[in-house]
Amino acid sequence: MEPGVFRSDFLDASSLSTAAQRIGAYDGTPAHATLEWSDTANHTQLGGPVKGAALIYEVTGGDKLPGHLALGRDAIERQLVKIGSIQDDLAAWRDRSAATACDDAA
């Protein structure tokens, strides 16, 4: 399962503990970007927890479990970007990578 962000208390002080002071050396880094995002994202996340839980229940009650289950539009978008990146890497190196097989390999 690859969940997106769900509207919950996960990003507030009841469950997320942050340092009293931020280290200036990390300004402009993903670490501070994430902290700044969490300040504004709390209780505005896209995902509905009840809807997400209902889908998980539905999927796990089925006959065949998916290998991957993206929950939420944001999770779908992240997975599509990741798939595109993997496809680009494979295309760029496919011939060279395949050429590493032993000469007698079928």
Q: What is the pLDDT of residues 25-52, one digit of tens each?
A: 988 899 888 888 888 888 888 899 999 9
pLDDT of 84 over the 90 cut? yes
Residue type, 76: I
- The dihedral built from the CA positions of residue 6, 34, 80 and 95, taken in this order, carries a sign that is negative
SS3 letters across the chain: CEECCECCCCCCCCCCCCCCCCCHHHCCCHHHHHHHHHHHHCCCCCECHHHHHHHHHHHHCCCCCCCCCEECHHHHHHHHHHHHHHHHHHHHHHHHHHCCCCCCCC
The first and second tokens of residue 21, run together, are 């002071």
pLDDT of 106 over the 80 cut? no
pTM above 0.85, yes or no: no
Please report the pLDDT score of residue 79 as a whole number.
95
Averaged pLDDT, 100-105: 92
